[in-house]
Structure 1
Amino acid sequence: MSTLTLALKGEYFDEIKAGRKLEEYRLITPYWQKRLEGRSYQVVELTRGYPRSDDESKRLRLPWRGFQLATITHPHFGPDPVEVFAIDVSPPAKPAADWSSAPADATHVIRRPGRERVSWVKIASAREAYWRWSTQKNWFISSDSPQKLLAHPDIERRPSAKAENDQAQPPGSGRPTHKRHHERPNSSRRYSVNSSEHHAARSLQSSTLKEGELMVKKKFTDAEMLDYLQRHHTLHKKVDFLYVVDGYEAVVTWDDEPMSPVFKGSTLRDALEEMMQGGDILTSSGR
């Protein structure tokens, strides 16, 4: 596989990885003319500086989409306009997820950029997860844990039944669309919890504190966290995780309806630890 490798400064690498910088520039010199003109690659590999060969966090591989000639003014090249090769480093498109044809028991979908098909995911319990390609009919046991799958950067939760119906509705059908009060632009869900359940959950955190005391956050082992998830996973009850722009959200649901406040963290583990600070979350009836 022919690969063009470009070493970048950290700020430019981070901008490209975030999808904000769509072109990488190289001066039109004999060196770059020899490497680019009349050449075709399959992949362009961007590196953050010169990382170790096993450091994948500082490597970004994108499909080769060519370049164009441009005249630009850029601080890196000085105050005067210069002619450059503008190499296309825009992020590849993600495959579409057609939830109307998704497996009925699929809970999530993984849409990897540059792929032609999606991967359906089924989180069956705190320990069990399954996956299958959109073109397959059988589920396969995932080698990754549910927690690791939910931390995948390209995973998306199954939309609500209403959202699926809206997605399947043809344009111009006359059916009005309404923005649900708990939706926001970054696609994370804001859960509504009735006041009695909210009080029941929050009171667990404050009941052991004396007036004027501050809560000291506890740290939990993997075994304690797994045990907590198992205790909260029943026929009706479970802990749901949601990947959002600034981290993760965790909430306890009963028949897929929220029964706890939303607990947030920069990582999935942090969100779960926030939830665990007050102990088990029960309904007002003690369930």
Structure 2
Amino acid sequence: HTISHYVRVPVTKDYTVRDPSGHAIVAEMIPVSESTQRIPGRKSFALNQLVFKTILPALGFSTYYFEIKATENNNNNEKQVLVTHNSECILQNEYLRVEIDCQGNLNKITNLKKKIVVPFSNQGFYWYGSYPGNNSGSEFQASGAYIFRPISSDPEPVSSKRSITCVKGQNFQSAIILFNNWASQEISLYDDAKMVEVEWTVGPIPVYDNIGKEIILRYDTDIQSDSKFYTDANGREVLERIRDYRPTWNYSKVEPVSGNYYPINSRIWIKDSNRQLTVLTGKN
């Protein structure tokens, strides 16, 4: 079936975007975040990006055309976009309302149609120190690219404070939250979306202190999940998981942290009697 999808294109000039029929469509010019501009190896000089909605047919493609705007019209689109710094940011469309305070803390998400609210006591990046090990035995295996073994059960926040930039356009709203010079996230809500998009940028991770760091993005809610959560099994069926428990053997809590982390290809959620918070992966 036909689907719609919002596209972001980095640009160095202002363009009129035309759909496959040649009609001009709404394309909003928004700034490229500072964290994206600082990515090592980035070769683009674009400081702005165009955001526009595309319509894709089933098992097909659509072609959209870019036409450079006349010089005198270069600022017309930018006037439609409001950018504020370090102030409260409310993202809202017909379906969802996302409330972020002036310090960049995600406070709550409201489903406006069902009148369901999920508050967050905290949301952000944390890090576990990596177990150094010496690989002389399984119990001394070092944490690395293919094994997650934190040295402590208590993660540290990546920063004590954060800054926020709020961007609001006609069809697109986002909060760019900067934790430090190597960790940031962008929380976005599109005009007709029934979900919130979170895009994170991490790195290069500092290791000048000779401590490896395992970075996580954590959501703390008041959902009473009874220690249960649900993950896909290699992108297929969904399995119920219970913290510190395995259904087919007596579980020994040797790895209290990594023993409760599961690789997911598509989705994970927690729920209680009337609410559910689901995280969908954007890239596999």
TM (normalized to structure 2)?
0.24
The structure with the greater share of residues assigned to strand is 2
More helix per residue:
1
Kindly name which structure, 1 or 2, has the bigger radius of gyration based on alpha carbons. 1
Higher relative contact order, structure no. (Cα contacts within 8 Å, ≥ 6 residues apart): 2
